Structure 1
Amino acid sequence: MGYVALYRKFRPPVFEDVKGQDHIVTTLKNQIKSDRVGHAYLFCGTRGTGKTSVAKILARAVNCEHPVDGSPCGECDMCKEIAAGNSMNVIEIDAASNNGVDNVREIIDEVSYSPTKGKKKVYIIDEVHMLSTGAFNALLKTLEEPPSYVMFILATTEVQKLPITILSRCQRYDFHRITIDTIEARLREVVDAEGIKVEERALRYVAKTADGSMRDSLSLLDQCIAFNYGEELTYDKALNVLGAVDTEVFSKLFSALYTQDVNGALTLLADIVIQGRELSQFVNDFVWYLRNLMLVQASDQMEDVIDVSSDNLATLKEQANSADIDTILRYIRVFSELSSQIRYASQKRIMIEITLIKLCKPQMDNGEGAFEDRIRILEQHDEANGKLLKGIQSGQVAVASAGAGSFSEGARPPREKKVLDRAVPEDIKALVSKWPGYLMRMSNPMKNYLQKANLSLGNDDKLQIVFDNRQLTEKYSKGESREELQNFLDDSTGKHIEFETKFLEPSQVFEENYVNLQAINFDIVTEEEKEN
């Protein structure tokens, strides 16, 4: 006999061998033991979670001559015939290729004939959601009131496509995704039975890559074993076969993005491409890494949820403590969108490169998330400059190069501030009328931040600068950013412009809450006019 794939060779023969679906197995075993078996079952769930395996076990169990605790004995003639595929009592139908009305009518005609051997005639219809509307309608009556010796088991990965009339006639069982621990334990049983040496980390990674599917995990394991036939399957070899990337690479990539190191990020991507890694899988795995970062920052009790080694967990915690949660969430959103975009793209590398560049240079992106990232970067720079200023003031950083009155190259003496007259409403009106011109003279990033601001006349003849972003409102209300804007306004107008920043709530309308200075006409009244 030729080689049999692992997922076929190790298909569970009894209910006890079904992994990760205890809620279904227990119910079905109790029904068989109490002789309360239904006539129509609907098995729903993602691929590889055991729907067809459980259907075949159930078909054997209801026909078994000597069931053991609700499971088929595997020794009687009926069990052996069904297992070998020679029994006329169990009919498997693929609805993807037999989805017409005529196919269903053939089933209806056969239903009228009772089994010559055994108790039940079982119809297993896989991918039942592929049946046509006419086929569903033809099946309805028979599905609702079949003969006592007939059982239907419908299996589907897309239960939402089934008509409600079908759903209401079946006992529905939802198969869950299988946990990584459960899959790993099953893989360990398989490799031990096959006499194959596999590193624990390699099994863990295969189980994680399977994404809740036992069948996928066995297929991936089969692939890895074939590539490294006769050798121990190590973690690095599993990565090579599956086109995956080590966690250390994701750590370096996140650091490069967070520090705006565009050269480092693109170099890492180039190395991934040269190694022949699958780029779609690379993006998906990086999203998973970002998810782990988010969870580590959210709580210290996430070891069981995150499912990484102790060394990687320590690295995650260190990186999460130095990162901003809003930035991590933005990266997750960006790479999740990228994952769906590159699935069928022909130029995956270019799309990833564009994303990396935009994240390293948020000024290129006009989105709200990029705007917040620019503020974070600016605040980091402000913090660094503040430390430098404190160092100069405390004498820890030398700025003088020759004498007491000379400054090193690049350093400037503090400028003497002129005492300016306070601006009157006419000066504020003139400032507003020429505001676009003033914006052109501003330097970035202040120009970008103030482009969308609205100007209003506040109390005590103060200029109100109204933002629709709370962070910007706070940014220009105090500190170095306020001083920078104050100096610009004073230098540009030759008057001291007193201003205050205000935040406009999303539900508010500017014209209803603030004075539009563009529409104000200031009337100057002299003392002579007052007397007259």
Structure 2
Amino acid sequence: MAYQALYRVFRPQSFDDVVGQSHVTRTLQNAITQNKTSHAYLFSGPRGTGKTSAAKIFAKAINCENPVNGEPCNECETCKSITEGSNPDVLEIDAASNNGVEEIRDIREKVKYAPTVSKYKIYIIDEVHMLSTGAFNALLKTLEEPPKHVIFILATTEPHKLPLTIISRVQRFDFKRITTQDITERMAYILNEEKIPFDEKALAIIARAAEGGMRDALSLLDQVISYGSEEVSVTDALEITGSVSQNLLTELVKSVMECDAEQAIRNLSALLAEGKDPVRLVEDLLVFFRDILLYQKAPQLEESLERAVADEAFQELASEANSVRIYECVDLLNKAQQQMRFSNHPGIYVEVAVVQLTQTKGAITSDSSGESGAGISNEEVQKLQTELSALRREVDELKKNGVKASETSSSEKASRPKKAAMNSSKGFKAPVGKINHVLGVAKKKDLQMIRSVWSELLSMLIASQAALLNEAEPVAASDDTFVLKFKHEIHCQMAMENASFVETVETSISRLTQANYHFIGIPEDQWHDVRENFIKLHNNGSEEMDGEGASAENASGADTNSEDQFVAEAAKLVGDDLLEVKE
């Protein structure tokens, strides 16, 4: 017989075999035991977490001739036929290739007939989010009230694409990503069954690369077995997954901590030349820095290290590293990781990030030793202390003489940094001219499009980015720009002065709407003023110029019906007594 992939040979055949989803399997077992099964289920979650396998096990358990505590016996004819895929009453349908209305109508016609050899007729619809709108509508009534002998099991990796009318008619089970430990234990069991020697560290590397998917882990394990000779080794696992060995990571991090940009770039270039994945490399660096910090603070928790092994080189690096610099390195790598998601050249972001890492200075003093911070010499520390003392004397002298800040000489004002002058300004000023232009060509359908994808946009952003937009609201939109109103001025300023944040939001919104969009931020109090001024200029037909030099008449666009005209027409229809005008 031809060779079969490990994930097919060791596919779960009972609920106990399903890894990391006890909250789902236990519920299904109890429902079968207590005869409280539903007519329709939805299994959602990341790929390779056991959704289809659980659906087949459920089909076997509910139709099994000799079930034991909700588990299928896997010995009767019914169980064997379902396992082989030959049972006429258990139908597995791929919605990606059968997503039309005709296929669903065919199902709707056939559900009327009783099962042939089993107790229940079960339809397993995989990747159900691929169904068309018409197919969903055709399935709706049948899904709500199917015959008593029919059970539907829908499986999907993208439940947000399903209509709420479908979700409200099913019992939903969310499959979670499988932990690294659970994946490692399952792979060890399989290798023991296959009598293949292995290194546990190699299994941990494969499990991390699988990112919570059991099928991905077994596929990688298959590759490692084929690549190696007699056993699953760390070297082979690193080669197949594109991860980096600890020695190379230690050298790279050591050159970063020593602020040696030249050596750091050489180490990085050597890694990329070997074909290492830039995205995987950044992830390895993040976990490695985490392990350094954990070992510094709690060396007795050595078993909690995910990526590192506490050898002599690692211990030396951990003892010399400054924790403040580690925090900065993690922050920079996290930003680089977010930017790499939207780039076709992730290697460039890794190189830039490594150069930035060598330039971080950390705190002036270290955590406990009292020595100067990493990368700052004693001369620099002494110079900073001297400047600080001089500033304190100047402040004391100003207080003593009663001189106010406003009475300082023009030469002193000229010598101040530009940043201080910016900080002394009143606050964020929205670009009124650009906003007026958007208002002039704004269309309701554009605004509705932006608002329809807004919640999905927030779910795509990381927590710190989404927090800035929690109380923000799109209030106007043209075909290429929309105005975003912020409740608090400080949030608006933080958002609009962060170039990477603006780029991330614009890229995400363009991806969701399939159109290139830019946005303009404005605080709520300024928005009310800008809107009222625009309405006044629009009503009066004035040719006054706004802050950006665009005439109000040009900004008003083709819409010539004023608010007063609408009110007058409404008054004619219902009368002044019944009319109430609200902003």
* TM-score in terms of structure 1 length: 0.68
Q: Residue type matched to 2:110 in 1?
A: E
Deviates most, 67-76 or 427-436: 427-436
Percent of aligned pairs with the same residue? 41
Q: Residue type matched to 1:47 in 2?
A: R
Q: Residue type matched to 2:4 in 1?
A: V
Q: Residue type matched to 1:140 in 2?
A: L
1:145-176 CA-partner distances (Å, limit 9, x unpaired) = 11011001111112222222222211111212
Q: CA deviation at 1:223?
A: 0.5
Which of 420, 428, 431 is the equivalent residue of 1:453? 420
Q: CA deviation at 1:385?
A: 2.9
1:32-79 CA-partner distances (Å, limit 9, x unpaired) = 222222111111211111111110111111111111221111121111
The answer to whether structure 1 residue 213 and structure 2 residue 213 are counterparts is yes
Give the match for residue 135 of structure 2.
135
Please give the residue correspondences for 1:194-213 in structure 2 after superposition, counting only pairs within 5 Å.
194-213=194-213
Please give the residue correspondences for 1:101-140 in structure 2 after superposition, counting only pairs within 5 Å.
101-140=101-140
The answer to whether structure 1 residue 240 and structure 2 residue 249 are counterparts is no
Describe the SS at the equivalent of 2:172.
strand
Are residues 21 and 349 of structure 1, via their aligned partners in 2, closer, same or farther at CA, if it must alter by over 3 Å? closer
Give the match for residue 348 of structure 2.
350
**Cα separation, 1, equivalents of 2:164 and 2:191:** 43
The answer to whether structure 1 residue 338 and structure 2 residue 336 are counterparts is yes
Q: Residue type matched to 2:269 in 1?
A: A
Describe the SS at the equivalent of 1:125.
strand
Are residues 291 and 85 of structure 1, via their aligned partners in 2, closer, same or farther at CA, if it must alter by over 3 Å? same
Equivalent pair of 1:191/1:198 in contact (CA under 8 Å):
yes
Please give the residue correspondences for 1:403-414 in structure 2 after superposition, counting only pairs within 5 Å.
none
Give the match for residue 78 of structure 2.
78
The answer to whether structure 1 residue 156 and structure 2 residue 133 are counterparts is no
Give the match for residue 532 of structure 2.
none
**Cα separation, 2, equivalents of 1:31 and 1:428:** 75
Q: Residue type matched to 1:87 in 2?
A: N
**Cα separation, 2, equivalents of 1:203 and 1:143:** 43
Give the match for residue 258 of structure 1.
257
**Cα separation, 2, equivalents of 1:194 and 1:12:** 16
Equivalent pair of 1:33/1:70 in contact (CA under 8 Å):
yes
Unpaired runs of 5+ residues, structure 1, are: 363-371, 390-421, 440-449, 457-464, 469-505, 508-532
**Cα separation, 2, equivalents of 1:245 and 1:455:** 45
Are residues 99 and 261 of structure 1, via their aligned partners in 2, closer, same or farther at CA, if it must alter by over 3 Å? same
Deviates most, 255-264 or 231-240: 255-264
* TM-score in terms of structure 2 length: 0.63
Deviates most, 184-193 or 303-312: 303-312
Are residues 310 and 336 of structure 1, via their aligned partners in 2, closer, same or farther at CA, if it must alter by over 3 Å? closer
Please give the residue correspondences for 1:334-483 in structure 2 after superposition, counting only pairs within 5 Å.
334-343=332-341, 345-361=343-359, 384-385=378-379, 432-435=409-412, 438=415, 450-454=417-421
Q: Please say which structure displays the higher CA radius of gyration.
A: 1
Equivalent pair of 1:297/1:320 in contact (CA under 8 Å):
yes
1:323-353 CA-partner distances (Å, limit 9, x unpaired) = 234x434333332332343356443333322
Q: CA deviation at 1:2?
A: 1.2
Give the match for residue 225 of structure 1.
225
1:373-399 CA-partner distances (Å, limit 9, x unpaired) = 59789965666238999xxxxxxxxxx
**Cα separation, 1, equivalents of 2:140 and 2:409:** 74
**Cα separation, 2, equivalents of 1:356 and 1:348:** 13
Q: CA deviation at 1:437?
A: 6.0
Equivalent pair of 2:180/2:204 in contact (CA under 8 Å):
yes
Give the match for residue 44 of structure 1.
44
Give the match for residue 11 of structure 1.
11
Give the match for residue 30 of structure 1.
30
Equivalent pair of 1:105/1:138 in contact (CA under 8 Å):
yes
The answer to whether structure 1 residue 281 and structure 2 residue 275 are counterparts is no
Unpaired runs of 5+ residues, structure 2, are: 367-371, 384-396, 428-489, 492-583
**Cα separation, 2, equivalents of 1:51 and 1:316:** 43
Equivalent pair of 1:247/1:312 in contact (CA under 8 Å):
no
Are residues 35 and 429 of structure 1, via their aligned partners in 2, closer, same or farther at CA, if it must alter by over 3 Å? closer
**Cα separation, 2, equivalents of 1:222 and 1:264:** 36
Q: Residue type matched to 2:339 in 1?
A: Q
Q: Residue type matched to 2:247 in 1?
A: E
Describe the SS at the equivalent of 1:172.
strand
Equivalent pair of 2:362/2:374 in contact (CA under 8 Å):
no
Give the match for residue 534 of structure 2.
none
Describe the SS at the equivalent of 1:152.
strand
Q: CA deviation at 1:254?
A: 2.9
Describe the SS at the equivalent of 1:112.
coil
Equivalent pair of 1:257/1:265 in contact (CA under 8 Å):
yes
1:164-201 CA-partner distances (Å, limit 9, x unpaired) = 22222111112122122211111111111212121121
Q: CA deviation at 1:284?
A: 2.1
Are residues 346 and 68 of structure 1, via their aligned partners in 2, closer, same or farther at CA, if it must alter by over 3 Å? same
1:290-340 CA-partner distances (Å, limit 9, x unpaired) = 343455567667556543565269937962773234x43433333233234
**Cα separation, 2, equivalents of 1:336 and 1:235:** 26
Equivalent pair of 2:66/2:72 in contact (CA under 8 Å):
yes
1:72-111 CA-partner distances (Å, limit 9, x unpaired) = 1112111111111111111111122222222221211111
1:201-221 CA-partner distances (Å, limit 9, x unpaired) = 111211222121111110000
Equivalent pair of 1:41/1:152 in contact (CA under 8 Å):
yes
**Cα separation, 1, equivalents of 2:92 and 2:155:** 11
Please give the residue correspondences for 1:305-344 in structure 2 after superposition, counting only pairs within 5 Å.
305-308=304-307, 311=310, 315=314, 319=318, 322-325=321-324, 327-343=325-341
Equivalent pair of 1:44/1:51 in contact (CA under 8 Å):
yes
Q: Residue type matched to 2:231 in 1?
A: E
Q: CA deviation at 1:262?
A: 0.6
Equivalent pair of 1:39/1:146 in contact (CA under 8 Å):
yes
Equivalent pair of 1:297/1:317 in contact (CA under 8 Å):
no
Q: CA deviation at 1:259?
A: 3.2
**Cα separation, 1, equivalents of 2:21 and 2:282:** 30
Equivalent pair of 1:206/1:217 in contact (CA under 8 Å):
yes
Are residues 267 and 382 of structure 1, via their aligned partners in 2, closer, same or farther at CA, if it must alter by over 3 Å? closer
Give the match for residue 406 of structure 1.
none
Are residues 220 and 380 of structure 1, via their aligned partners in 2, closer, same or farther at CA, if it must alter by over 3 Å? closer
Describe the SS at the equivalent of 1:332.
helix
**Cα separation, 1, equivalents of 2:176 and 2:246:** 27
The answer to whether structure 1 residue 97 and structure 2 residue 74 are counterparts is no
Q: Residue type matched to 1:160 in 2?
A: H
Equivalent pair of 2:364/2:381 in contact (CA under 8 Å):
no
Q: CA deviation at 1:13?
A: 1.0
Deviates most, 150-159 or 172-181: 172-181
Q: Residue type matched to 2:70 in 1?
A: G
Equivalent pair of 2:100/2:132 in contact (CA under 8 Å):
yes
Describe the SS at the equivalent of 2:20.
coil
The number of aligned residues is 410
| Cα RMSD (Å) | 3.7
1:434-483 CA-partner distances (Å, limit 9, x unpaired) = 247646xxxxxxxxxx4423599xxxxxxxx99x9xxxxxxxxxxxxxxx
Give the match for residue 59 of structure 2.
59
Q: Residue type matched to 1:384 in 2?
A: N
Q: CA deviation at 1:142?
A: 1.0
Describe the SS at the equivalent of 1:153.
strand
Are residues 268 and 29 of structure 1, via their aligned partners in 2, closer, same or farther at CA, if it must alter by over 3 Å? same
Are residues 277 and 174 of structure 1, via their aligned partners in 2, closer, same or farther at CA, if it must alter by over 3 Å? same
Equivalent pair of 2:144/2:169 in contact (CA under 8 Å):
yes
Q: CA deviation at 1:121?
A: 0.7
